[in-house]
Amino acid sequence: MPRKAKVRRTGRPRLDGGKAPQTRERILRCAIREFAQQGFRGGRVERIVDDAGVNLRLIYHYFGGKQELYLACLERVFVELRRAEHALELRAMPPLDAMRKLIDFTFDHLSRHPEFIGMVRSENQLGSKGVLRRSRLVRTLTAPLLVIIEDLLERGCRDGVFRGDVDAVQFFITLQALATVHIANRSTLSAILDANLADPTWLKARRRHGHEVLFSYLSPPRAVKRERRTLSGER
């Protein structure tokens, strides 16, 4: 009876049963939830391992360690946001419509993805020890969005619907602030204002307020005066 040929095994042994993409993704999702809620310092790899149902060695196998896993989580939430923004195809739209769509999208995405706000809050808590500056990926993803905003502002200025001195970075930061402050500080603001900032009706009013603030700033001075006269009933 012929002898069976020996199978030669090479390379690193598989720790995940051959399901690398699914396993890595599950670890990443559990880690995002952990770091968004507990921050980098409070986040525990042991809890991530338990939630993901994996062996501790897989954290180091896929990511190298806690800090590298944390950076991968930061990159993931930014990649998802920037990809969704790119899918809006704002350059193909008239500037007013495109700006409305960008504002609505930003409010919607951040409301539906509090883990993004949690990850950003965690990174800011680290201050100078934050790791996001190590990511070239996030910077390269954000720069095109600023180019798109600049394009909208320039086209809107030529059409006479936007003022001509708007700084794209300042506008971007203001949009982010308007869309996040009531989520990031929901508990404290709800308590001191005796209001439910999670109420859908309140959130709709918040979005309208965001539109009013941003478009009041974007509109040329004469357009703002005309709109105010219309609202007051003057001719």
Statement: residue 75 has pLDDT above 90: yes
Q: 235 vs 143, which has greater pLDDT? A: 143
What SS3 class is residue 35? helix
Beta-carbon contacts of residue 96 (< 8 Å; ≥ 6 apart): 156, 159, 161
Q: 215 vs 21, which has greater pLDDT? A: 215
Tell me what the pLDDT averaged over the chain comes to. Answer: 88
Query: For residue 6, what pLDDT is reported?
Result: 45
- Of 50-59, 80-89, 147-156, 226-235, least confident by mean pLDDT is 226-235
Q: Go through the domains of the chain in sequence order and give each one's CATH number.
A: 76-232 (1.10.357.10)
Confidence label for 10 from pLDDT (cuts 50, 70 and 90)? very low
Confidence label for 104 from pLDDT (cuts 50, 70 and 90)? very high
**Sole residue written with tokens 């006269």:** 229
Average pLDDT score over residue span 56-76: 94
Beta-carbon contacts of residue 152 (< 8 Å; ≥ 6 apart): 90, 95, 98, 99, 102, 162
CB 45 within 8 A of CB 67: no
Q: Where are the alpha helices (DSSP H) in 113-194?
A: 114-126, 136-158, 168-184, 186-193
Segment 181-195, tens digit of pLDDT: 999 999 999 999 999
From CA 68, how far away is CA 27, in angstroms rounded? 13
Segment 128-165, tens digit of pLDDT: 888 998 888 988 988 999 999 999 999 999 999 999 99
How many DSSP H helices and E strands does the chain contain?
11, 0
The dihedral sign for the CA sequence 175, 179, 181, 184: negative
For residue 104, the 8-state DSSP code is H
Query: For residue 27, what pLDDT is reported?
Result: 96
